[in-house]
Amino acid sequence: MIYRKKKKDNKRNWARLFSVACIFVCLCFHTSYSWAGAWLLPKGKGQSIQTTLYSSAHMGFDQSGALSQPVRFSKFNSNIYWEHGLSDSYTVILSSNIQDLNYSSGVDTVDFQGFGQSSIAIRRKLWANRTSIISLQPSVVFRGPGETVSDAFLGAGGTQFEMRALAGKSFKLARKDGFIDVQTAWRFRPDGFPDEFRFDVTTGWRPHPKLQILAQTFYANASKPPNLALSRQTKSFKAQASFVYEKSARTSYQVGTYQTIGGQDTIKENAFFLAIQKRY
């Protein structure tokens, strides 16, 4: 149980609803801090990305999208992401994270330390030419004690399934390498909890052989399920910027920040992160 007090009137019920929805968006609409897109890894090649993030918030967006809800939120998150090329057409992906989260809004208070959600996925190449690629990525997402869904306690939601379509294209800008990656996904949730639609865009440009600039946007929308009386629709739109420094052929470092630009029943989150990428 994440709530320390029982709600006995409508006002407190709506405060509870806003609080849980905010945490849902923060934990479930997770951002891909270190980029990995539509392209596949060659057979036998792989990479791991370890990301450490700190985020905080003092205000939240209400049901109408207005920035009107005072909150206190902070989170440390440590994420591990690993992918490995099984063949030239298939790449396997594993990820998990550990969270230290503190949140309060109105009568609600949450303090949590432990594992969030974990996932396993297979990326399948559908079509590719010299500059472009289209791939498909089904995945299974396993709940953890820190993972939540809209209007539910931490650890609720069961095993989820996601189908993601990815498209990437490389280009030249000022005779320097660049790319754009577009992804759309639908996550299916059991037990009547809200499904999620996601739409992510990443563009990158390499002004120097050892430096890459990334700009990313992440949109997520969880519709209201018909059989959960207190549930409301939640939305989140985040913008992210980062720099990747390639120290060697095997090691890169990424530093960046993101902010919640808009949303519905979610907090206005500001975050800073560091990542280490190892390749083999």
pTM: 0.85
Pairwise pLDDT comparison (4 vs 126), residue with the higher score: 126
With H, G, I as helix, E, B as strand and everything else as coil, classify residue 17. Answer: helix
Identify the CATH homologous superfamily for domain 10-279: monomeric porin ompg (2.40.160.40)
Return phi, psi of residue 213, to 5°. -105, 130
Q: Which pLDDT score, from 0 to 100, does residue 104 have?
A: 87
Per-residue pLDDT tens for 255-273?
Answer: 999 999 999 988 999 999 9
Question: What does the buried/exposed string (b/e) look like for 10-34 if buried means 16 or more CB atoms within 10 Å of the residue's CB?
Answer: eeeebbbbbbbbbbbbbbbbbbbbb
- Burial (0-12, 13-18, 19+ Cβ within 10 Å), 71: buried
More confident call, 215 vs 30: 215
Whole-number CA gyration radius for the chain: 19
Q: Do residues 61 and 265 touch, judged by C-beta distance below 8 A? A: yes
**Tokens at 217, concatenated:** 């946007």
At 226 the pLDDT is 59
pLDDT tens digits, one per residue of 137-181: 999 999 887 655 544 556 666 789 999 999 999 999 999 999 999
Domain borders along the chain are: 10-279
Residue 24 above 90 pLDDT? no
pLDDT of 144 reads 80
31 pLDDT above the threshold of 60: no
Return the closest-CA partner of residue 141 out of 75, 84, 97, 76: 97
Q: For 57-93, what is each residue's pLDDT tens digit?
A: 999 999 899 999 899 999 999 999 999 999 999 999 9
Question: What is the DSSP annotation of 189-253?
Answer: -STTPPPEEEEEEEEEEEEETTEEEEEEEEEEEEPPPTT-TT---EEEEEEEEEEEEE-SSSEEE
Per mean pLDDT, which of 1-5, 19-23, 54-58, 191-195 is the most reliable? 54-58
- Encode pLDDT of 97-107 as tens digits: 999 988 887 77
- Residue pair 121/92 in contact (Cβ under 8 Å)? The answer is yes
Looking at residue 4, what is its pLDDT?
A: 35
- Per the prediction, the chain carries an average pLDDT of 86
Q: Tell me the pLDDT band of 109, cut-offs 50, 70 and 90.
A: confident
**Rounded to an integer, what distance in angstroms lies between the CA atom of residue 143 and that of residue 37?**
24
Report which of residues 3 and 180 the model is more confident about: 180
